[in-house]
Amino acid sequence: MKNSVYIVAGARSAIVPSGGLFKNLNYYDLASPVIQHCLNAIGLPPNKVDELIVSNALGGGGNPARLVALASGLPQNLAGLSIDRQCVGGLDSLLVGKALILSGQAQVVIAGGAESYSLRPKRYYKSLKEKKYIYQSQAPFLPSIYNDPLMEVAAGELANQSNITKTEQHEWAIESHTKALRAKSELSKEIVTIPKAPIDHDPYARSLTMETCQRSKVLSASVSTASTSVAADGAAFVVMVSEKALNTLSIHHALRIIDGKTSGGNPELPGLAPISVNDLLLKKNQLSVLDLDVIELMEAYAAQAIICAKELKLPIDRINLSGGSLSRGHPIGASGAVLAVRMLNELKNERKIGLATIAGAGGIATGILFENITFNNS
């Protein structure tokens, strides 16, 4: 299809809680084996890659994409493009890649995200009032004219305003873990083993019970550690190509990016942002939620996922078929790209249309619609 962009390969590392097996690995240590695997899977030489786009939220700057490009063995003339839209950056990297391809500036783009929560730099800000540097656990997401809440506080306020109970949140978390454990062998097919710290599965998924949830630490209001995605290390990338480049490859399955949208909402209740974004996205493309066969819904907090599912009237049996981030963890800049890799592996056979969506700090959200494309190359 002319003027279309396709995802022809995708993979990810295991998602490992901060301080775990990946604790001594930089983000580029996690990214490079994944990128190399993606290229090898479709027989694409590194010199065919026109651009690498890397979402990284915690690395402290310095153009992480350049470091990832060099660590991955990509040509030295490939500069690499780093983006930081916090949680939504992984999906936004795909939208930037799509724009580059459709504008004719690239034929092949690798897009995704990589994050080492374990090795993130500590942030210190100078306090003019106290005349010293003060440590802050998160970057400022809003200017001083707004209330800039901690994310768990915003999630707790969202749960209160939407009448989402602690039990509902825990039930959602239990279901996420249950689905992930059930799909463990299938999930391993999209995971690339990192040579410096080999693991072929997401270690956080477990047999979560309501009793365990009830004992979990309360973070804010009805939000607990059980209903919150754990901070994590990980990387995920996809290979995106133009129609012209697609015709040079021998593949059996791809995803066509139908459309995507990023927008802002209430900055003090960031969990609500996906509602308006995806409502507009579906209407623009003349689709209803019943047209969606697969929905990858980021669940940084169970409360946020629940309200988005309710307000958009998403079919509950099509959401996070193999579990969500509550059962994996949240490698901030990479999480959106994990959703894209999940979509590539879930949207197959009779499943035709999928939606991946994620909210981010500051009251922003991204949604992308995908179409399953099958080729007969026999």
Identify the CATH number of the domain in which residue 331 sits.
Answer: 3.40.47.10
pLDDT in tens, 89-125: 999 999 999 999 999 999 999 999 999 999 999 888 8
Is 215 a domain residue? no
Grade residue 150 by pLDDT with cuts at 50, 70 and 90.
confident
- Please state, as a whole number, how many other Cβ atoms lie within 10 Å of the Cβ of residue 310: 13
Q: Position 47: which residue type?
A: N
Which of 127-131, 157-161, 179-183 comes out lowest in average pLDDT?
Answer: 127-131
Is 280 a domain residue? yes
pLDDT in tens, 18-54: 999 999 999 999 999 999 999 999 999 999 999 999 9
d(CA 255, CA 355): 12
Query: What is the pTM (predicted TM-score) of this model?
Result: 0.96
Question: Number of structural domains, the chain?
Answer: 1
Pick from 116, 95, 98: nearest CA to 107:
98
Residues 6+ apart with CB under 8 A from 97: 5, 51, 53, 106, 109, 110, 111, 240
Domain span at residue 239 reads: 6-120+186-195+228-374
Is 204 a domain residue? no
Is 129 a domain residue? no
Grade residue 206 by pLDDT with cuts at 50, 70 and 90.
very high
Tokens 């995605």 sit on residue: 229
Is 331 a domain residue? yes
Is 47 a domain residue? yes
Is 254 a domain residue? yes
Grade residue 134 by pLDDT with cuts at 50, 70 and 90.
confident
Residue 205 in this model has a pLDDT that exceeds 90? yes
Residues found in the chain: 378
Is 54 a domain residue? yes
Residue 129 in this model has a pLDDT that exceeds 90? no
